[in-house]
Amino acid sequence: MQLIDIGVNLTNPCFADKHQAVLDRAYAAGVCQLVLTGTSVEGSEQALELCRQLDETAQRLFATAGIHPHSASDWNADSDRQLRSLLKEPNVVAVGECGLDFNRDFSPRPQQEKVLEEHLAMAVELQMPVFLHERDASQRLLEILRDYRDQLPAAVVHCFTGEKKALFSYLDLDLHIGITGWICDERRGTHLHPLVKEIKRGRLMLESDAPYLLPRSLRPKPKNGRNEPAYLTEVLREVALHRGESEEELAAHSTACARAFYGLPTVD
């Protein structure tokens, strides 16, 4: 089986000096390609540099470039120029992480909306897919996306944790859905169990969001409590269970979906 992790925060400080070991464990587990998430201009630059340093073949590691809604207040006159420059790099395969977070409101909501629209405009101009973040903001995100959707090649709501109404609304807009270890959390993720089978093939992708969201069903658990891309197999197991598919079936179609979404090469 081959898996693609569509969202891993490999630039997180907890992975410092451990990058190659983390990747080696991922490859050994069948995670053949990874997309490193950019959440700020600096973080996007770091993600790109990791791709260059750790993947000389340019076949396994890729990155996104964007500004997370938590950091929307950091947007300035140079942000557009800097992100556009990054998005022209061959290893950078999507605009984002961008979106709306009305749960924590670390940046004012009007600023979050402005910065999201800046990202969407770039994606339309450059004809690149978008990696979206949403928390407690599905209705507003949908309202903004509708003005751009016909011109966007593709967009994924990453780490989907919402309810049925939000999921169906995203699918009605022909968006992709990313599922993480949230579905493995017996305290807050069980509502996803009946929902994942509603996501048709060709719209479902898997992600670790490491080092966050360690699957709580994982046995044995790592002593450091840190999630890694190698544990994507646990997300695969849980999603396959609730879709009524074999792990091999789910791996095949979710990997094909991710490869098509990001335009990634095939690997042996």
Asked if residue 209 belongs to a known ligand binding site, the reply is yes
Q: Give the whole-angstrom CA distance, residue 97 versus residue 133.
A: 6
The residue type of 34 is: L
- Count CB-CB contacts under 10 A for residue 180: 28
- Token pair for residue 178? 């990313």
19 contacts 49 by C-beta, under 8 angstroms: no
Q: Give the whole-angstrom CA distance, residue 88 versus residue 98.
A: 18
- Token pair for residue 196? 């994942």
Q: Residue 158: how many CA atoms within 13 Å on its side-chain side?
A: 31
Residues with Cβ within 8 Å of 173's Cβ and at least 6 positions away in sequence, in order, are 142, 145, 146, 149
Closest CA to 174 of 195, 148, 203, 198: 203
32 contacts 3 by C-beta, under 8 angstroms: yes
- Token pair for residue 210? 């490491």
The residue written with tokens 């990202």 in the block is 119
> H or E element: which one contains 64?
strand 61-65
> What is the spatial order of strands in the sheet that 92-101 belongs to?
3-8, 31-36, 61-65, 92-101, 130-135, 155-157, 176-179, 204-206
Binding residues for a divalent metal cation are 97, 133, 158, 209
Binding residues are 97, 133, 158, 209
